[in-house]
Structure 1
């Protein structure tokens, strides 16, 4: 059985570096509660997760800092592997 690279030291280091930047969620633009850590962070929808601008399933690099983005857990899950950013809902009034 192969080791999961997301459990490795380089990936954890990248997560720590990204977390230290204290950036808002790149998907929705709202602040991330970086105080949510430990076991509860795995379930909290507004906790920090490391997202990848180019999803891994689309050829993005797991460990490239240029591909790393800060995101809420909820936003990261909702985005899935789409390449585009969220678009505002257009009004039907013309």
Structure 2
């Protein structure tokens, strides 16, 4: 078995094209929080647009499969990390009633 290269698919022309297509044709609404994404924000801004993978690359997700792509705020994507089983939105209360 070949070792997994986490960098595979994170850069390069095919992924750049997929990002541009999703940014242009997508709804520009964050899949996790449901709020609109402002495309004019700098890429380093926490509420800027980013490509999120439904199945994280570190868990074997295909970096170039369009069905694995979702739009998210940078912050929402970072909070999720590489967990694939996160359900959104989170509960509004801190207790399980």
**Do these two structures clear the TM 0.5 threshold for a shared fold by scoring above it?**
yes
| Runs of 4+ with deviation above 6 angstroms | none
Task: Tell me what 2:92 maps to.
Answer: 89
Which TM-score applies when normalising by structure 2?
A: 0.79
Q: Deviations over 1:3-47 (max 9, x none)?
A: 7632210000010011111330011111100122xxx31x20010
Unaligned runs of 5+ in 1: none
Displacement of 1:85 in angstroms is 2.1
Residue correspondences, number: 89
For residues 32 and 66 of structure 2, the distance between their equivalents in structure 1, rounded to whole angstroms, comes to: 17
- Give the distance between the partners of 2:82 and 2:13, measured in 1 at CA: 24
2:21 to 13, 17, 20: 17
Q: 1:49: which partner in 2?
A: 50
C-alpha root-mean-square deviation of aligned residues, in Å?
2.3
TM-score between both structures, scaled by the size of structure 1 = 0.81
Give ranges in structure 2 of 5+ residues lacking alignment.
none
